[in-house]
Structure 1
Amino acid sequence: MTEAKRPSYHHGDLPAALLRSARQLLETGGISTLKLRAITRHAGVSATAAAPHFGSLSGLLSALAAQGFLELASVMAPEHAPTPRDVALAYVRFAIASPGLFTLMFRSDAIDRQDPALRAASERAFARLAGLSAEAAPEARAATMIALWGKVHGVAVLATDGLLGGIAAESGAQTLDRLLEQVFR
């Protein structure tokens, strides 16, 4: 075949396509489905196509986690979550909406926490959370932040693991969202 007749394959934005594929696999099958071959196959490219862009599976998953932290920071931004209560609710609702991504974001065994883009994205999200402890005395801010983050993150993990639905029904809150609003009054 001559060059002119050979069907050319141009993916467009391959890094974005690989990240989309990884996210789809993550949300439908969980972290155990995130293998480089599965992701590239899902994206419709060769198994080696991800290497120039991400280097390894850890690089690709770190980029995906960075995306997650940027999305989390966005939903916790003042225009979306103007009060500390709104920030806490946004955090938990993000986890519920994207449980696979949320789980990946905190899996040190799957991602490279030293990756510069991941560090910057996670710092951006945690800066939003830091607002939860802004009213604490300066010497107590760190401890207050850890306690508040623990509460918000713990509730998010319970929610993504499906452990709050029964409590919502039993408490009379009727829905998980109403229960969450009561938790973060």
Structure 2
Amino acid sequence: MRVELLRVARDMLEAEGINALKLRAITRQAGVSAMAATPHFGNLRGLLTALATQGFEELACTLREGNGRSVKDAGLAYVLFAVRNPGLFTLMFRGDAINRHDAAFTHAAQQSFGLLGQLLAQTEPPKTHKSDVGGEVGQAALWAKVHGLAVLAIDGLLAPLVVQSGFADHQEAFLAQALDAMVGPV
């Protein structure tokens, strides 16, 4: 039942957004009583935390598949994960909707960020604005850029910047070029 409730919640999240998620609606859609979710998640926040945990586990798999590739490739994998899972990606970073202190969530998030950090550490950040920032600060700056690009992409704010018609047809190429501009050709 836990797996089914998570599947239904994820489908609803992607179709209707986070604000539409209510525990009764999820359990009704799953065909079980509202109380059926309690032993598995406790409440809606627990269910959303489990769903966000699942998201970080999937992101870790995505990043692991690209381990050893360039920072640009890792960044593109991160952004495309967000584009392909916009509701889930948004939920993963919504501290007001999830329990960031949940042990499974913390472990999954740290695993993802650890893999991302390893990939980012493979390159020197581009020197901009007379900055020699490297190490953890440089990695955080690169992650902020990549994460910002992901958020702009899932919020649909990049489409107006693309002169070509059919942004969806050129989205991956555009994102790759944007990452190239941010991290440099790596």
TM-score normalised by the chain length of structure 1: 0.85
Q: Cα offset for 1:105?
A: 0.3
Deviations 1:106-155 (A, max 9, x none): 00000000000100110111012102134459x94221121011101000
Q: Cα offset for 1:170?
A: 5.2
Q: Does 1:177 align with 2:172?
A: yes
Aligned twin of 2:144 = 150
SS of 1:76 mapped into structure 2: helix
Runs of at least 5 residues in structure 1 that lack an aligned partner in the other structure = 1-13
Q: Cα offset for 1:80?
A: 6.6
Larger radius of gyration, structure 1 or 2?
1
Aligned twin of 1:94 = 81
Aligned twin of 1:168 = 162
Task: Say if 1:75 and 1:81, in contact at 8 Å, map to a contact too.
Answer: no
Q: CA RMSD in A?
A: 2.2
Q: Cα offset for 1:85?
A: 1.2
> What is the number of equivalent residue pairs in this alignment?
171
Runs of at least 5 residues in structure 2 that lack an aligned partner in the other structure = 126-132, 181-186
SS of 1:121 mapped into structure 2: helix
Q: Following the alignment from structure 1 to structure 2, what is the Cα–Cα distance between the partners of residues 169 and 26?
A: 31
Q: Cα offset for 1:181?
A: 1.1
SS of 1:169 mapped into structure 2: coil
Q: For 2:17, give the aligned amino acid.
A: G
**Higher relative contact order (Cα pairs below 8 Å, separated by 6+ residues):** 2
Task: Say if 1:72 and 1:125, in contact at 8 Å, map to a contact too.
Answer: yes
Deviations 1:67-105 (A, max 9, x none): 000111111114477221111000000000010000000
